[in-house]
Amino acid sequence: MTNAITLVVADDHPLLLKGLIDELKAYNYSILATAENGAQALDKIMQFQPVIAILDEEMPMLTGFEIIKKCKEQNIATKFIILTSHKEKAFVYKAKTLEISGYIIKDEPFQELHKCIQSVRMGVPYFSTLFSDVFENEVAPQLKKIKLLSPSERTILRLVAQEKSSKEIGVLLSVSNRTVEKHRANIIAKLGLVAATDALLLWTKEHREFLENI
């Protein structure tokens, strides 16, 4: 029964939050608390430890992802559903690395969120079709390419992200400039990039989230 599923719901837009709460109440969900910023949401989740927390991603003080990370560090058993307008691969990748239970796009019908809640309650993650498409077509291929990189190449890629020149990287790693350039060429080839002076730097800026876990 839906009233056996306790919820904490957070969104920093009051009208959107009210509309969401009205829809959830119409389905007889038990709402323990609501929040309009990330700090409030974290406090309510810690206090009530609901079965599920439904979180907007972008909120003042703490984002949805930051809340989830803090709760996991405290071993809170609550399951998390992100309800957001973001469809970019960086957000999709972050959601996957946090192993959240659900990700629903805000412009989808409420029925999708209802399905997600019911699925998560049964222990089965539920993601928007758009989320799954972005992961399969944009995120997964990049992760597959990253796995081809050697440990040395991954180190150099992280240093490129810090906007270090080949000369600076060589000094830091105690290798020749020629060795660094060879590694850069190999990285460009493995990532399937067009060989250009700023190709790697542009890639790191676009895939900054990916670099946290390589």
Q: What are phi and psi of 37, to 5 degrees?
A: -150, 165
HEC profile of the chain: CHHHCEEEEECCCHHHHHHHHHHHHHCCCEEEEEECCHHHHHHHHHHHCCCEEEECCCCCCCCHHHHHHHHHHCCCCCEEEEEECCCCHHHHHHHHHCCCCEEEECCCCHHHHHHHHHHHHCCCCEECHHHHHHHHHHHHHHHHHHCCCCHHHHHHHHHHHCCCCHHHHHHHHCCCHHHHHHHHHHHHHHHCCCCCCCHHHHHHHHCHHHHCCC
pLDDT at 194: 83
State the pairing for strand pair 79-84/102-105: parallel
Angle between helical axes of 177-191 and 151-161 (0-180°, round to 10): 90
Q: For residues 40 and 10, is the Cβ–Cβ distance under 8 A?
A: yes
Q: Calculate Rg over the CA atoms of the chain.
A: 21
Per-residue pLDDT of the chain (214 residues; tens, 9 = 90+): 566 899 999 998 988 899 899 999 999 999 999 999 999 999 999 999 999 999 999 899 999 999 999 999 999 999 999 998 888 888 888 888 888 999 999 889 899 999 999 999 999 999 998 888 888 888 888 889 988 999 999 999 999 989 898 899 999 999 998 999 999 999 999 988 887 778 888 888 888 878 777 7
The neighbour count for residue 28, using CB atoms within 10 Å, is 11
Query: Residue 166 has which token pair?
Result: 């080949």
Query: Which single residue is written with the structure tokens 């949805």?
Result: 64
Domains of the chain as residue ranges with CATH: 2-136 (3.40.50.2300), 148-211 (1.10.10.10)
Give Cα separations from 173 to 19, 180, 188 (angstroms): 55, 9, 19
Compute how many other C-beta atoms are within 10 angstroms of the C-beta atom of residue 163. 10
User: Which pLDDT score is estimated for 86?
Assistant: 86
